[in-house]
Structure 1
Amino acid sequence: MCKRTMATSPAKSRIRSSHGEPRPPLNEELIVDEILTRLPVAAAVRCRSVCRAWNAALASGHFVAAHAARAAAAAARHPEIVFFPPTERGVATTFYACSLPVDGGAAPTTARQLLTVGNLAGEHLVLSGKPCRGLTLVFDVRLSEYHLFNLSTGEHVSLPPCETAEEIAPLVPEPMRLRRFPVELSSTGLGFDPATGQHKVVRLFRNIFGQQKCEVCSLTASGEWRWRRCAGGDAPPRFACHVDGMPPVALDGSLYWLLHWRSCADDGSARDRQQHDAPILSLSVSAERFGWVRTPPKLASRIRHLTNLDGSLCAVVHVECLIDDVLLLLTWSPSSPSWSARCRVDMGSLPLPIRDELRGREVVPLCSVSGGQKIVLATSRHKVYVYDTESGDIDDVFDMNSYVDIPPRNSEARLFVNIGFHEEQIAGVGRTLAGDNGLEVKRGGDTVVAKRDVSPEVYQRHRQKDEDFRSIKGLIRASTIV
C-alpha cells in the first residue's frame, strides 16, 4: 500500500473478511511486482497518480524492466501489430493495435484504438520500424517533421525543426510525379544510449548546398531536445547520396543504413551494380562512431531493405527468376558476423491470389512465431501473412481493409508500409517526452473496432489504382539520379 493509505487508522486500513477477522496487510512489493507488472502499459502509468509511493515505484528502473519482461513474454505468445490507415491531408490519423493468431488460431475479430492524431496525414508518415525501448519515431515526409510517440501511453513530443535536405528529382514527366513519394536525401533513425539511459535521434542527409551531414537530436541538461553535430563527425564522403528516406534499423546499440548504389563513382564513371557490394553503414549510438557491415556477395544490388527480425539484422532480398520471383531473408548479428539464410519463399509455389499480392510489393518481416518456424510478413498492400518455413504454407491473417476505410489511391502504401510490430513498454515517462508540442493527440482508451466484410468491388477499385501507382513508381525508381 502507499504511505497515504497507511496513514489512516488501523481499523480503517484493514479489510475484514466475511468471518469478521482482519486480513493480513498486503505487501507493497507483492502488489508492484506481481500485480501492477501485469497491467497494460497505459493502466500502469495511470496508477502512478495513486500516491507518491506508487509514483516512485512505478517510475523506477526495476519496475520498468520487470514490466517489459512480462510484456515481452506475452508478445511471444500473442504478437501484436500496429497499423494506421493512409489518411489524406486534413483527416486525423489513428493508430491501432491488433493481435495475430499463432499456431493456426482464429484470425482477430477486433482491433483496439491506441491514439488519434488530428494534424498528421497518414499517407505522408513513415514509422521507424520496431519500437526502441517503447518509443516510435514518426517522420512526416511532406513537412519534414519528426515526432516521438509512446503509442501505448500517448506520451509524445515533436522534435525541433531540422535543416532542409536536398530533394530527389526523378527524370519523369511532371504530370506523372507522385508528390507523396519520398522526395529528399535523408534517413533518420531512433536509438538508445545505455550509458546515459536516453534515446537519440540520428539523421543522415545531404543539404540543399550538396553538403553531407550527420546530426543527432538528444536531451540537453535542461531537459529539452536539440539537434547537434554528430560527435563522430559526418559519415564517409558521398554516402548521404545513397539514402532514400527509409529509416535505419536499430539493433544492439547501433543503427544500420542500407546504402543504395544509384549514382556515379567519384571519378564520374558509372558503377556496375552487379559487381560492387553495397556496404551497410553502421553507427554506434553511444560512441557516435561509424563502421561497416559487408553485404552478401552478388546480392547487394537486390537487397530491397533492412529490418530487425528477432534481434538480428535481416536483409530482404528479391531475386527475379525466369519462372517466378524468389524472396530471400538473410540475417546477421554482431555476435555472429557472417550472413546466414533465414528463409526462402518461392513465389511460384504460392496460391495465385497471394502470389499476386506479394510480387513486386514491399515485404517486411515483423517477427517469428511458433518457435521460429513461422515468419510474420507485412506488405505494402496493407496485409499480413504468416509463412511456414518448413511446410511452405502461407496464411492470410490480416487485412487492413477489414477494419478501416482506405482511399483507393492509397491501396498500396505510398512510402513504405503502414504496418509494424507493436511492443508495449513503459518509456518516455517524465523528462524524456516532457513538453507541449501542439499535436492534437487523443488516447483511444477502451475503444475497439470490429472486423467487417469487404465487398469484391472495393478490391477491384483498389487494384486499378494500385496498378497505376506501381507503373509510375517503377519509372521513378528506374530514372532517379542522386
Structure 2
Amino acid sequence: MAPDTPTTAKRSRQAPCTAASLPEEILSEILLLLPSRSILRFRVVCRSWAALLSSPAFKDVYAAKARARARRMDKFVVFAPSPNANGSMAVYSCARGAAVADPLFTVDRVRVDFMCLSSKPCHGTMLFSDTRSGVYWVCNPSTGECVPLPKQRRGLMQSSAGLVYDDRTKERKVVHLFKDMTHFGCDIYALCNPTQQWRPANQDVQLLGFNILKSVLGIEDSVTKIPPVFANGCLHWLAYPAYMDTPDGQDAILCFSVDTETFTRLNAPSSVHLAAEYKELDENLPAVPMHLAELEGSLCLVHDLRRRGQGRSWLDVWMLRDHVANEWSLDHRIVVTPLLARDVHSPRFITVLGSSSDGDSCAGNEQEKKKILIATSQHQVHAYDPKEGGIQLVFSAPKTNIRIGRKEAAAALWLGLYEDNVVQVEGANSRDKEVLSAVTKILARLPVKSIAHSMLVCRQWRSLIESESFIISHMSMKRPKRILMASNGRPRRAFFEFTTVGNWLEAASPALADTLVNDKVICSKPCHGLNLISTNTDDFMCNPCTRAIKCLGRHGKSHFTPAGHERRHAFSVGRNIGFGFDQSTGEHVAVEIGYINGTLACVIKTSSEKQWNCIGKPPRMVSDMPPAHVDGTLYWTSEPGHERVIVALDISTREFNVLPCEPSLNNDRRHAFLVELKGMLSLVAVDASAGEMVIWTMPKNMSSWVGAYKICLDEHPDYSLAKGQVVMPVEIDDGNDGRILLNTGRALGYYDAKTGELDSMYSLDQLKLPRSSLAFPVLCQESLARIQDDNSPASSLPRFAMKDAGHASTLSTPTQR
C-alpha cells in the first residue's frame, strides 16, 4: 500500500466524523431522546438542524414518544410561592421519589393562594388562572414558556376555562365560559396564532338556559374550585344541583364538543345523588363531595364518601363508558382512610390524577403494572394498585427542597403531571428573545434612578422592568448598600421622605432641624430589598429607593400591649419590633413581642395579611434592642436579670428556639445585643466603663462564637458609651478595608478597627442641634422590590420618586395606607 501523501494525510486529519456526516434517520433517533429544552437550543446549531427540529414530522414523532414516556407518570409539576420574589409563583419539576426539584420558571405577580390549575397537561401545555385578576395563563413546563392570554372582557362576575386539543386543526384552544354584567357567553382562543383573537363559539350559550349556566359556574366558583375536564374530545363541567330544574343527576354534566363547538348534556351515574350531597353540605361531609376528572382518556366522576365518625371511607371512581348512551360503570372503590386521609376534612380534596405503568409495558403485562395516581390538596401523590388494593406514597412536595409554604392548597391542587413536548406556547421570534435577553442583562446593572428613566423608552421596556424576574435579576447584582436619611414627609403624599446624606447636610442647621422626623423611629436593615420603619405606635414597610411605603396598621392588636421597656435610647421606641423574610412564601414579615392580656406573646404580620396574628408565646422575655435577621431567622438576646441566652424565631415554621450565648458573657453584666454583619449573626458586648465594644461573630455552618472586632471609642466623644448611650454597628464596608459603620442616633461614621480612627459623616452636636433631636439614617439595598398587597396585581407596580439637590422628580405618587 502506498504511503499517505502529505495532502491526503492532512485531508484525513481535517475530516473527522461529525454529526453532519450521520444519516438523517440516525440523527433524528438521537435527537428524539433529548429533553424538549435541549431540542429548542439545538435549533440554533445550523439551518439544517433548525429545519429538521422544526418540521411537523419530527414534532409529531417527538410528541408520540413523549406521550409514551409520560405513561409512566414518574415526574410532576409543582406550583409554589417563589422563595425570592414577593407575591410571585415559582414552578418546579420533580421526579418521583426525588428530594431535589428543578426550578422551571417564575410567574410574576401571581400568588399561588389565588391560583386555579388544570392539573392534567393537554399535549404538553397547562392552563392556570389568577382568580384575583381574572387573567388566564398557558405554559409548557418542559420548555419553560409561560404567557398570559389576552383579557377579552371587563366586568366578569364568574369565569371558567379549559384547555382543549382540536384533532382536525392540530391546534390547542382555550374555551372560556363566563357571566358578565348582562349575559352568559362562551369564547374561544387558539394558541400559537399571533393574529388570533377571542371569538364566540358556534352555538349561542344563552340557548342552554339560565339555570344550567348558573349552576355550572356556581359549583366551580363556590364549591369545587376545579376547572372543567377535557376528555373524549369534549370539555365537561359539573352542574350545581341547587339551581337545576331537572330530576337528581339528570343533565348534571355540561359538555362542549371541540369539533362542532356545540353543547350537550350528560346524566350522572344513576346511583349517585348529587342533590343530596350538595344540598346538605355540612361539617360531616367532605368539602368537595364529587367532581369530574380524566382517566386513561375517559371522563370519570370521583365520589368522595368520607363521613365524620365513619371508621372506613371510600373514593368511588365512575367511568363513562358510552358517551351517547350515558353509560357509567363503577370501576374502582378505593379505601382512603387511614392511608390517604386522616378524617373528613384532612385533606380537603382528593382526586384521580391519572394512571401509570411501571417500566416499559407490553401487551402481555400492561394490566399487571398499571396503577392509579391519586393526588391530594396536601401536595402528595399516592399510587393505588387496583388488583391488590395497596396504596403507596410516591411523591410529597413538602419532603423536597420546594418551599411549599402552606400546608394545604386553598383550591384543588398545586401540582400536576409533567409531559415533555416541544410545542411552543407562542410564536415568538427567537431573534427578538435574544435581543430582549441582552437588554435585560444591561438594564439589571443600572441603578434604580436610571431604570426609572428607562421605563419611559417604550412599552416593552416598561413591561420588562415591571416583571418580577427582572426585579430578582436586578437585586441579585452585587452593589454596595446606600445610606439615605429619613425626614418628614409631605402631607397627604408620603409618611417619610428619603434623601442622600450629602443633600440632607446641604441645608442650614435651622432648616435641617425642621426636616428631622417629628416622632422617634427605628429603621431596620434592608431585607430582600425592603426596610421597616417603626414608631411607638405604627410600622411602615418601605422601599427607600423607589419611595414606596405602606402602613401595616394595628388591626388584630386590640388586646396586645407592647413590651414597654424602661430603658430609653436611640434604638428603642417602647416596643420590640423586628423585620424578616419568610423564605417559604417569599413574604416580608414584621414581628413584635409583647403581651396579650398579661401573657407574653408574639404577633406577626405580612403586607398581604389583613391583621396581626398571634403565633404563640416566646420562651423568654427579650431585651429592648431590635432583633437581628439572618437567613430567615430573627434573633434576640434575653432580658437582663436572667441567664443570658439567645431567643431565635424561624419565620417560616413560626417556631421559637433557645440558643446558648457566648460563654464568657454568661456571668457578665455587660450590656450585649445582636446585629447582622456581613450576613453573619454577630454579638456585641459593651463595656461602657472602658469605652470599648467587642464583636463576636458566628460564621455560617458553625455553632461557636469567634472574636472578630474590638472597637475603642474613648477618643471619640460623639460616640462615647458613657451615660447609657448605645452605639450600633450597622454594616462592615467591604470596599474600605473592612471599616465598621457606627450609629448613635446623633452621629454616624466609619470606624477603622485597625487604626482606631473614626471618619464621621455627621454629628448633630457639631451641627449644634438640640440634645433631644435625633437623625434617622436608613441603610438600604438598591432594589425595585415591591410591597406585596392584596390588591389586583395591575395596581401593584413599582413606584419611583427621585430626589436631586433638594427637589423631587416623581414618576408616580407614593403608596399610602
TM-score using structure 2 length: 0.45
Q: What is the distance in 2 between the residues matched to 1:288 and 1:234?
A: 10
Partner of 1:70: helix, strand, or coil? Answer: helix
1:254–1:285 CA contact under 8 A, matched in 2: yes
Q: Structure 1, residues 154-203: CA drift from partner, whole Å, max 9, x if none? A: 22322111324654xxxxxxxxxxxxxxxxx3210111223222221111
2:49 to 43, 47, 54: 54
- 1:194 correspondence with 2:167: yes
Note the C-alpha offset of 1:359: 4.9
Whether 1:397 and 2:394 are equivalent positions in the alignment is yes
Q: 1:149 aligns with which of 135, 139, 145?
A: 139
Offset at residue 63 of structure 1 (A) = 0.9
% identical aligned pairs: 30
Number of residue pairs aligned between Structure 1 and Structure 2:
398
**1:23–1:332 Cα change, 3 Å:** closer
CA deviation after TM superposition for structure 1 residue 74, in Å: 2.2
- Partners of 2:380 and 2:371 in 1: CA distance: 16
| 1:72 maps to which of 49, 64, 67 | 67
CA distance in 1, matches of 2:89, 2:145: 16
Please state how far the C-alpha of 1:418 moved relative to its aligned partner: 0.4
Deviations, residues 267-289 of structure 1 (Å, cap 9, x unaligned): xxxx88xx343521111123211
| Corresponding residue for residue 228 of structure 1 | 199
Q: What amino acid is aligned across from residue 213 of structure 1 in structure 2? A: G
**Segment drifting more, 319-328 vs 151-160:** 319-328
Report the 3-state secondary structure (helix = DSSP H, G, I; strand = E; otherwise coil) of the residue aligned with 1:291: strand
**Distance in 2, Cα, partners of 1:92 & 1:258:** 31
The letter of the residue matching 1:291 is T
Query: After the TM superposition, which residues 272-311 of structure 1 pair with which residues of structure 2 at under 5 Å, given as runs?
Result: 275-277=248-250, 279-301=252-274, 302=277, 304-311=290-297
Secondary structure of the residue that 2:314 maps to in structure 1?
Answer: strand
One of 186, 207, 210 as aligned partner of 1:214:
186
Structure 2 residue 239 is matched with structure 1 residue 259? yes
Residue 404 of structure 2 is matched in structure 1 by: 406
Aligned equivalents of 2:414, 2:311: Cα separation in 1:
30
- Following TM superposition, by how much is the alpha carbon of 1:91 offset from its aligned partner in structure 2, in angstroms? 3.1
User: Relative to 1, partners in 2 of residues 1:57 and 1:333: Cα closer, same or farther, differing over 3 Å?
Assistant: farther
Counterpart pick for 2:103 among 105, 109, 113 = 113
Q: Specify the alignment match of 1:475 in structure 2.
A: none
The answer to whether residue 42 in structure 2 is matched with residue 83 in structure 1 is no
Higher relative contact order, chain-length normalized (CA < 8 Å, sep 6+): 1
Q: Name the residue aligned to 1:478.
A: none
Aligned-residue offset at 1:376? 1.1
**Counterpart contact for 1:277–1:300, Cα < 8 Å:** no
* Paired residue secondary structure (1:131): coil
Query: If each structure's helix is expressed as a fraction of its own residues, which one has the higher value?
Result: 1
* CA RMSD in angstroms, aligned pairs only: 3.4
| DSSP 3-state at the match of 1:427 | coil
Alignment partner of 1:332 is 2:320:
yes
| 2:295–2:354 contact (8 Å) kept in structure 1 | yes
Who wins on radius of gyration, i.e. which is larger? 2
- 3-state SS of 2:427 partner: helix
Counterparts in 2 of 1:27 and 1:247: CA distance versus 1, 3 Å: same
Give 1:473's aligned residue.
Answer: none
Q: Secondary structure at the match of 2:122?
A: coil
Work out the CA distance in 2 between the residues paired with 1:330 and 1:49: 48
Q: In structure 2, do the counterparts of structure 1 residues 25 and 55 end up closer, same or farther at CA, with 3 Å as the change threshold?
A: closer
Q: Which residues in structure 2 correspond to 1:309-348 (within 5 Å)?
A: 309-320=295-306, 322-333=310-321, 338-348=327-337
User: 1:145 touches 1:159 (CA, 8 Å); kept in 2?
Assistant: yes
Please report how far the alpha carbon of residue 139 of structure 1 lies from its aligned counterpart in structure 2 after TM superposition: 0.6
Q: CA deviation at 1:374?
A: 2.2
Q: Report the AA paired with residue 329 of structure 1.
A: V
Q: Residue type of the partner of 2:391?
A: I
Distance 1:23 1:137 in 2: 38
Task: Choose the corresponding residue for 1:247, options 196, 220, 227.
Answer: 227
Determine if the alignment matches structure 1 residue 431 to structure 2 residue 427. yes
Q: 1:398 to 1:430 in 2, by over 3 A?
A: closer
**Secondary structure of the equivalent of 2:270?**
coil
In 2, Cα distance between the equivalents of 1:258 and 1:13? 67
Deviation at 1:108, TM superposition (A): 2.1
